Every structure is written in C-alpha cells, then in structure tokens.
C-alpha cells in the first residue's frame, strides 16, 4: 500500500511541503487549494521533477475534496500568512473560518487520517481543527516546535561554528513571543551549551529564536517563512507514516501533562503510526514553569477568540 498525503493550501508552505514530501519519498501527494489552477499547475510542475530526482510517487493538484479521500496524513496550510507589522494573532479571525472549512471536509473524506495543522496562529488553529474534526487528541497535532527548535539549533550552531545537526535543543510552549527555548537541555553532541557559550550569548540566541519568524517576515515583506516550515511538517508526517517513534516538539492537546489541561501546548511527543503516541513529561524548573504558564495564558486567549 502506498501512503497518501493531502496538503491543503498550495501556497508557499503547502507547495514547499509537497516538494519535500516527494523528494523524501513519503508517498503519493494530493495538493488542494481553493484557487483554481494553482494546485494543478504546481502539482504538474513537481510531478515532472520525478524523472530527474528519481521519485516514483505521484502528485495531483485539485480543488475537490473528493480527491483527498482515504488520506493517511493531511497537512493543513490553508490561510493567510503574516506581513510586516502583523502578529500571528492578527490572522486569527480569517484563518479560523478557513481552517474550520478545511477540517470539516478533510474529516469527511479521510476519517482515519492524522491532521497536521500549520496555519497560524497555530495553537488556536490546531484547536479549531481538533474541535471541528472530533478526532481523538492523538490524531490532531500542530507544527511549530520542530520549526522553532530548528531555528534555535541553527543559531547555537552558528555561534559555535559547529554542524547544526550535532546541536540538540528544544523549544516548548506557544508559537509566539512567549515560546520557551530550553537552555539547560540544549547540548552539542552531549556537551551542555551552558559550558560552551556565555549567559549573554545564550540570552541573545533565545531572543532571536523567539522572534525568528518576524525576522524572516521583515526580510520578505510579502509573506512569511516557508522552506523550513514545509520541511518541519513533512518531518512530522514522515514520523507518522513510517511509525518512526520520533521524539519531536509539537503542539499537542494536554490532559494533565506538565500540569496543564484542555488546550494545545508545545511539548515533546512520540510520533508514530496513529499520530501522537504519548507526551514525554519531565520536571520543569521554576523559571520554565513560569514560562509555560505564560504560554498557556496566551494560548487560552487565542482559544477564546476562536469562539469554539
């Protein structure tokens, strides 16, 4: 059986995720958008990379949810992206309506799928998809932590002049200014970064990570990041489709973990077949607890604004 991955939204993030999904051999891809012609054109263009890149999976562009039927994983990227001067919260009202419409259709045609939500503000949008789909919490997951952690790891690697893949570091909490890049757990091949970088240097890296999205928005001026966001969603899809038991920071619906309940928060999870297999809980220090509580407060404000 070939895996089937639907990507809703054929814009920057969606089309880039499709590109990564094909090049990493995840399965057949359906690219869907409301705009007529865009998913069809981008899908055809990507399909024609097959002979050069050597992938044998197919990609199909469509405006009809019937074509998404029976998907194993659905990545939702539909919605507006930020422009300079906009916060992720500014997107909320418009994107709630879009994500609601997408989730309704997706769960109708792929009732057994795992949903990976990318649309911002992510912690509220993944909650919207969770509420609308009625799926169990293990099958609705938000992408933010993989991206934020990749940014954090990149900045640490740059500061030390080492390979980024040897940097292990995690960002928890909300996908916003209150996110929590964990300093005490960050390490380079097992060596704590606190032994390698000054407190000032680490504070600057944390701050840059927290504002990593807007740094790119300010460069681009017409939209937000998409190469690494697209890859991060595909990394999660791959872990699910191939039952890899990857431990990745994701927005998960907490029910008591880390002392929080009834909202989505960025926490480390085990991703495998069926989605989130479990949340990995560990003791937080007092400052981390405060930061997570701030994240939770901000997430709950966003949740209230969804009206769900």
91 binds ligand NAD (CB under 6 A): yes
275 binds ligand NAD (CB under 6 A): no
173 binds ligand NAD (CB under 6 A): no
Packing angle, helices 145-160 and 199-210, rounded to 10: 140
Task: Show the DSSP H helices in 54-198 as ranges.
Answer: 92-109, 122-133, 145-160
User: Which of 35/290 has CB closer to ligand NAD?
Assistant: 35
Residue 175 appears among annotated catalytic residues: yes
User: Which of 34/196 has CB closer to ligand NAD?
Assistant: 34
Q: Is 99 left (phi over 0), alpha (psi -120 to 50) or beta?
A: alpha
Number of residues that bind ligand NAD (CB under 6 A): 35
- Pick the binder of ligand NAD from 21, 80, 193, 241 (CB under 6 A): 80
79 binds ligand NAD (CB under 6 A): yes
- Pick the binder of ligand NAD from 226, 253, 258, 260 (CB under 6 A): 226
In angstroms, what is the minimal distance from the CB of 236 to ligand NAD?
11
Please count the other Cβ atoms lying within 10 Å of the Cβ belonging to residue 207.
Answer: 13
- Pick the binder of ligand NAD from 5, 7, 10, 159 (CB under 6 A): 10
78 binds ligand NAD (CB under 6 A): yes
Q: Which residue is nearest to ligand NAD (CB)?
A: 11
225 binds ligand NAD (CB under 6 A): yes
The CB-based long-range contact list for 167-172 (8 Å cut-off, 24+ gap) reads: 167/193, 169/193, 170/145, 170/249, 170/268, 171/145, 171/209, 171/249, 171/266, 172/145, 172/249, 172/265, 172/266, 172/267, 172/268, 172/288, 172/292, 172/295
Q: 19, 175, 211, 219: which is the annotated catalytic residue?
A: 175
DSSP letter, residue 72: S
210 binds ligand NAD (CB under 6 A): no
Please count the other Cβ atoms lying within 10 Å of the Cβ belonging to residue 209.
Answer: 24
What is the residue whose two structure tokens read 């769960």? 107
249 binds ligand NAD (CB under 6 A): no
Q: Which is nearest to 25 in space by CA: 234, 179, 218?
A: 234
Q: Residue 51 to residues 22, 44, 45: CA-CA distances in angstroms?
A: 12, 13, 12
**Candidates 42-50, 193-201, 221-229, 242-250 — which segment interacts with ligand NAD by CB under 6 A?**
221-229
216 binds ligand NAD (CB under 6 A): no
* Alpha carbons 85 and 146: distance in angstroms, whole number: 24
50 binds ligand NAD (CB under 6 A): no
- Pick the binder of ligand NAD from 6, 11, 170, 202 (CB under 6 A): 11
Q: Which is nearest to 148 in space by CA: 78, 246, 214, 75?
A: 214
Task: List contacts with ligand NAD (CB under 6 A).
Answer: 8-14, 33-35, 38, 77-82, 91, 95, 98, 101-102, 118-120, 122, 143-144, 147, 175, 223-226, 229
Catalytic residues: 175
């Amino acid at each position: 059986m070939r895996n089937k991955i639907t990507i809703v939204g054929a814009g920057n993030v969606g089309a880039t995720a499709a590109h990564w999904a094909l090049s990493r051999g995840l399965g057949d891809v359906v690219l869907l958008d409301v705009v007529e012609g865009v998913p069809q054109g981008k899908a055809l263009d990507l399909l024609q990379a097959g002979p050069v890149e050597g992938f044998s999976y197919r990609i199909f562009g469509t405006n009809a949810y019937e074509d998404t039927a029976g998907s194993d994983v659905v990545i939702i990227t539909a919605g507006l992206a930020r422009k300079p001067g906009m916060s992720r919260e500014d997107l909320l009202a418009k994107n709630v309506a879009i994500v609601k419409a997408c989730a309704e259709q997706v769960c109708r045609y792929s009732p057994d799928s795992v949903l990976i939500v990318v649309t911002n503000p992510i912690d509220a949008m993944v909650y919207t998809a969770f509420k609308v789909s009625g799926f169990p919490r293990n099958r609705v997951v938000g992408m933010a932590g993989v991206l934020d952690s990749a940014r954090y790891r990149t900045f640490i690697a740059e500061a030390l002049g080492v390979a980024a893949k040897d940097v292990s570091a995690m960002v928890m909490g909300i996908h916003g200014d209150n996110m929590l890049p964990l300093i005490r757990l960050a390490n380079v091949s097992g060596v704590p970064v606190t032994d390698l970088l000054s407190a000032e240097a680490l504070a600057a890296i944390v701050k840059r990570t927290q504002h990593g999205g807007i740094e790119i928005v300010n460069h681009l001026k017409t939209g937000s990041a998409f190469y690494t966001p697209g890859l991060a969603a595909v990394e999660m899809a791959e872990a699910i489709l191939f039952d890899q038991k990857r431990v990745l920071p994701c927005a998960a619906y907490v029910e008591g973990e880390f002392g929080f309940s009834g909202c989505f928060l960025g926490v480390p999870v085990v991703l495998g077949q069926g989605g989130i297999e479990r949340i990995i809980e560990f003791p937080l220090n007092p400052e981390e607890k405060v930061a997570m509580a701030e994240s939770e407060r901000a997430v709950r404000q966003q949740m209230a604004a969804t009206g769900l």
